[in-house]
Amino acid sequence: MKKENLKNMNDIGAAEALKKHFPSAVESAELVNHEAVVYVRKDDIKKVLAYLKEKVGFEYLFSITGVDYPDRTPRFDIVYHLKTLEHPLQLTIKVKVEEGTDVDSVYDIFKSANWCEREAYDMVGVPFKGHPNMTRLFMWEGFEGYPLRKDFPLYTEDK
Amino acid sequence: MPRKMTINMGPQHPSTHGVLRVILELEGENVVGSDMEVGLLHRGIEKLAESMTYQQIVTLTDRLDYVTSMTNNITYVMAVEKLLGIEIPPRGEYIRTLIAEMQRVVNHMMFVGIYAMDLGAITPVFQTFRDREIILDLFEMISGARLTYSFFRVGGMREEIPQEFFDKTKDFNDKLLGMIAEYETLLTRNRIFRARNIGVGVVSKEYAINCGLTGPVLRASGVPYDLRKAKPYLMYDKMDFEIAVGDNGDCYDRYLVRIKELKESQKIIAQCLEQMPSGASNCEDYKKYKIPKPFKVPAGEVYFSTECPKGELGFYIISDGTKSPYRIKINSPSYINTAALSGMIEGALIADVVATIASLDIVLGELDK
């Protein structure tokens, strides 16, 4: 996967090239409704994102999302959205995380991960290992529960 | 050796544009460290959306960045349309382009006025609010509301737009350059304004990209990235306009970029009005998507973003095939720009912190979601 080749690539082409480069770290690369979705093994996420930034030019990380699938093991998806500024290419990188475990923080690669990781922790409760300030972002200190988990109630009865 | 002092700015401070709390660590007048507290306006829009139907969520997007509700509506409905695989006719797309640019004019006018007010100049805010009112009246004509429009719906728009709207928009657009010139005579070469701005809050190109900064803040740092050109949507590939780019990445450049964008928007509005085709503006089977009947969206996921006045607003929607989304993530420009504030104000004076926050043009409704 080379920087020069990006010009002639589309999203899914870039995702497949990534899979070719990391045959063991990348679990799958497929097209879901026009989005190139790549599943990466949890332990390799930092390695893959660092490679994408330094060697390929996916230098712009703009969103980290936590998604809860209560009926699935591992329970959570952490979704990273990356793009290049030179070409109209975008990758959706996903990591599966089990409840009670953590993911490596990518803060030392992308500064934009600072608040994004804190928000993901705040909303679905997946901690990021190595983040300098792993505290809640929107909810207050001492708040119980994680609002965007599916088992968090939308309304509660007044006591 | 001066004593270190920690002071609190906000959440009621008028120049934090809402309820942003900044905790500043000072040595004399110099900021040596800072921290931020957000979430005071958190309404849980992402959680609420999971229990509403797709068409109802349009009303929630109004409350994100309440200054630019139209572009929020457009971005959201286009994301859902992409998931549904429906296309709207050219007239509908032209109308969306036209209104998105009018909304950009509203936003940048408000920016110029409030930015000048934060720096101590009171006059420009009266002029920009006076002129912004003309567009708000036009939006009121088509949607019935002044700020929370909910005008665009999945599959099209709420109502057909009357011819009077286009005529009045044309009148306004013909005068727009004169209005911008008026603001510029007060600010652009004003010695005090320049002294407060040039070299203040400098953001380097590398820092801007690494922090994921977006919109005019990114472009002022010399990165010519604009989604309207990079990934053309709506009718932007047929429009003739330029991307405004700055050189130094300071507050003054961020102001200039927005003034340039105002002028470019004027060009786009003129082209939209000129090329406006006739015919239908909603998709063919719009009846299927009309309120109150909910509709199902096929399972899958989509990320769609547009260049809103403040930067890239994106919706990441995961659908499980039912009437409400499984998960919505809102990626808002104010959020990503404010996250980088700490690095911009380090070493600055307190007065420059005010200028820097104002130059980011943030709205807390969008930041806190």
A-chain residue closest to B338, CA distance: A115
Identify the pLDDT of residue B112. 92
Tell me how far apart the alpha carbons of residues B207 and A118 are, in angstroms, rounded to a whole number: 20
DSSP class per residue in B313-340: EEEEEEE-SSSS-SEEEEE-HHHHHHHT
Secondary structure string (H, E, C) spanning B249-285: CCHHHHHHHHHHHHHHHHHHHHHHHHHCCCCCCCCCC
Q: Enumerate the domain spans of chain A.
A: 4-129
Identify the pLDDT of residue B133. 92
Residue type, A39: Y
Q: For residue A133, name the pLDDT band (cuts at 50, 70, 90).
A: confident
Chain center to CA of B50: 24
Query: Residue B122, Cβ neighbours under 10 Å: how many?
Result: 9
Q: Does residue B321 sit at the A interface (CB-CB below 8 Å)?
A: no
What ipTM score was computed for the predicted complex, to two decimals?
A: 0.89
Between the alpha carbon of residue B47 and those of residues A152, B53, B59, B304, the distances in Å are 10, 13, 14, 19
DSSP class per residue in B148-159: ----EETTEESS
Whether residue A74 is preceded by a cis peptide bond, meaning omega within 30 degrees of 0, is yes
Of B44, B210, B331, the CB nearest to A63: B331
Q: Name B129's Cβ contacts closer than 8 Å, sequence gap at least 6.
A: B109, B110, B113
DSSP 8-class letter at A53: I
Element containing residue B246 per DSSP (H, E): none
What does the block give as tokens for B229? 């050109």
What does the block give as tokens for A140? 């207050």
Q: Does residue B327 sit at the A interface (CB-CB below 8 Å)?
A: yes
What does the block give as tokens for B178? 């004169």
Tell me how far apart the alpha carbons of residues B186 and B124 are, in angstroms, rounded to a whole number: 7
Residue B188 backbone dihedrals phi, psi, to 5 degrees: -55, -40
Identify the pLDDT of residue B1. 65
Distance from CA of B8 to the nearest CA of A (A): 18
Q: Which of A24-33, A39-48, B122-131 has the lowest mean pLDDT?
A: A24-33
Tell me how far apart the alpha carbons of residues B346 and B356 are, in angstroms, rounded to a whole number: 11
Superfamily of segment(s) B45-337? Cytochrome-c3 Hydrogenase, chain B (1.10.645.10)
Contact assignment for B314 to A62 by CB distance below 8 Å:
yes
Computed over every residue of chain A, the mean pLDDT equals 85
Q: Whose CA is closest to B156, among B298, B284, B321, B328?
A: B284
Instruction: Find the radius of gyration of the CA atoms of chain A.
Output: 17
Between the alpha carbon of residue B273 and those of residues A63, B97, B166, B309, the distances in Å are 36, 10, 7, 20
Task: Give chain B positions within 8 Å (CB) of A123.
Answer: 46
Contact B61, B42 (CB under 8 A): no
Tell me how far apart the alpha carbons of residues B19 and B103 are, in angstroms, rounded to a whole number: 24
Q: For residue A27, name the pLDDT band (cuts at 50, 70, 90).
A: confident
- List the end-to-end C-alpha distance of chain A, in Å, as a whole number: 59
User: In 3-state terms, what secondary structure has residue B105?
Assistant: helix
The single residue listed with the structure tokens 């399972």 is B299
The tens-digit pLDDT sequence of chain B (369 residues) is 668 888 888 787 777 777 888 888 988 888 888 888 888 888 889 888 988 888 889 999 988 888 899 999 999 999 999 888 888 899 999 999 999 999 999 999 999 999 998 888 888 899 999 999 999 999 999 988 888 888 898 888 888 888 999 999 999 999 999 999 999 998 888 888 888 888 888 888 888 888 889 989 999 998 898 888 888 888 888 889 999 898 888 899 999 999 999 999 999 999 999 998 888 888 888 777 777 788 888 888 899 999 999 999 999 999 988 888 999 999 999 999 998 888 888 888 888 888 898 888 888 888 888
Contact assignment for A85 to B46 by CB distance below 8 Å:
no
Contact assignment for B209 to A79 by CB distance below 8 Å:
no
Contact assignment for A111 to B211 by CB distance below 8 Å:
yes
Task: Give chain A positions within 8 Å (CB) of B337.
Answer: none
Domain A4-129: give its CATH architecture. 2-Layer Sandwich (3.30)
Residue type, A146: Y
Interface probe, candidates A54, A111, A152, A155, chain B, greatest B C-beta count within 10 A: A111
A159 pLDDT higher than 70? no
Q: Enumerate the domain spans of chain B.
A: 45-337
Contact assignment for A148 to B211 by CB distance below 8 Å:
no
Task: Give chain A positions within 8 Å (CB) of B301.
Answer: 32-33, 35, 37, 92
Contact assignment for A112 to B340 by CB distance below 8 Å:
yes
Q: What is the largest CA-CA distance in chain A?
A: 62
Tell me how far apart the alpha carbons of residues B169 and B171 are, in angstroms, rounded to a whole number: 5
Contact assignment for B316 to A115 by CB distance below 8 Å:
no
B-chain residue closest to A61, CA distance: B212
